[in-house]
Amino acid sequence: MKTSMTVLGLLAKNTKKVLLTVLMGGALLTAHNEGYAAQTLRYANFPPASTIPCVQMDMWVEAVEKLTENKLAIQTFPASTLLDAKAMLRGIASGQADIGCTSMLYYPGSFPLFELFGLPLGFSSAAEASYVAWEIFKAHKPKELARYKVLAMFSSGPSQVMSSKPVDSLAALQNITLRSAGSISDGLSAIGGNAVSIPMSETPEALQKGIVDGVCSSWDTLKDMNYAEDCKYGLVVNMPVYPFAVIMNQRSWDRLPEDVRTAIDNYADKHVALAGAYVDEAGARALAWGEQEHAFSLATLSDADMQSINQKVSPLIEAWKERAKAKGLDADTILADVARFRAAFAAMQ
């Protein structure tokens, strides 16, 4: 009782002081917002700094810091130093980091709309898939992303086979175990492959320990993850792409001044194009490097094998339609939009 009386007494005595401090604080805050001194945002990413998700992160940071005239400072955390792939969505929603990069197909069932990119739709490049993913996002605004501010999207190139054992046919593919991820494992299983879902960051160890014989991912990883060290054999299978989303904590976004938000929004389309082009370049560079430095050899499938693959994977599209419809999505319109955006992309080339 005595203690609380004392506290109350002190509070009464200090009311003027407290009020003054609050008023001064408000004035300082206003001045701060008007001049908008650099505010630091934290951007988390899961794979190593050399990989495509992190290079696109650096591209975005450099462009945005410049466009906003250094009103923002963005600190990057590659290689799961702040959030790993599993913690990314929750970590951004809760504000552990302000911005994060996530591969949507790593969470089967969580992104029913974007699971369509795990289907055998035959995207030919990361540039095309990035453009389509972003346009699909803008056209359909899926509710699973509604709690975040989505800053941009980009995509990997088509998934291919990199193996420590020779592999040059559909039959040979049945004899090896491949690291894959999320819903793309379904495609690999459908063609008779043996898929093990392992996060990218744990794959080098899995390869070295012989848990898997190879990897099903896009060509950039041959160099950026140094898979060419263990995998000397490549097979072109043109499996699906992986779309990525760059997401921001909604409260962190709302706190930004309007001109900063506008600059970031206006840059989004350009970033999607630049990131897609970079991913394609990284893939081509990695293949050339693998061939030169590691005697990496590339095989292609016979027409008969290719036809057989197409037949085996086509039921996956019907299965996605059913799943999407069960979740209330208009699957036919979405697929028609994919075709429309692909045509728009082709027309721009």
Q: 105 or 329: whose CB is closer to ligand DTR?
A: 105
Q: 68 or 185: whose CB is closer to ligand DTR?
A: 185
DSSP string, 223-246: HHT-GGGT--EEEEEEE---EEEE
Q: 54 or 334: whose CB is closer to ligand DTR?
A: 54
| Residues of the shown chain interacting with ligand DTR in the complex, contacts defined by CB under 6 A | 47, 51-53, 103, 156, 159, 181, 200, 217-218, 220-221, 242
CB of 225 to ligand DTR, least distance (A): 6
CB of 298 to ligand DTR, least distance (A): 18
The rounded distance, in Å, linking the Cα atoms of 194 and 178 is 6
Q: How far is CA 153 from the centre of its chain?
A: 7
149 CB-contact burial (10 Å; exposed 0-12 / middle 13-18 / buried 19+): buried
Please identify the residue of the shown chain whose CB is closest to the bound ligand DTR: 217
The rounded distance, in Å, linking the Cα atoms of 128 and 137 is 14
CB of 211 to ligand DTR, least distance (A): 16
Q: 76 or 103: whose CB is closer to ligand DTR?
A: 103
Beta-carbon count within 10 A of 36 CB: 16
Q: 161 or 260: whose CB is closer to ligand DTR?
A: 161
The rounded distance, in Å, linking the Cα atoms of 137 and 2 is 61
Encoded amino acid at 18, one letter: V
CB of 342 to ligand DTR, least distance (A): 20
Phi and psi angles of residue 177, each rounded to the nearest 5 degrees, phi first: -105, 130
Phi and psi angles of residue 216, each rounded to the nearest 5 degrees, phi first: -110, 105
CB of 30 to ligand DTR, least distance (A): 43
Q: 188 or 263: whose CB is closer to ligand DTR?
A: 188
The DSSP symbol for 157 reads -
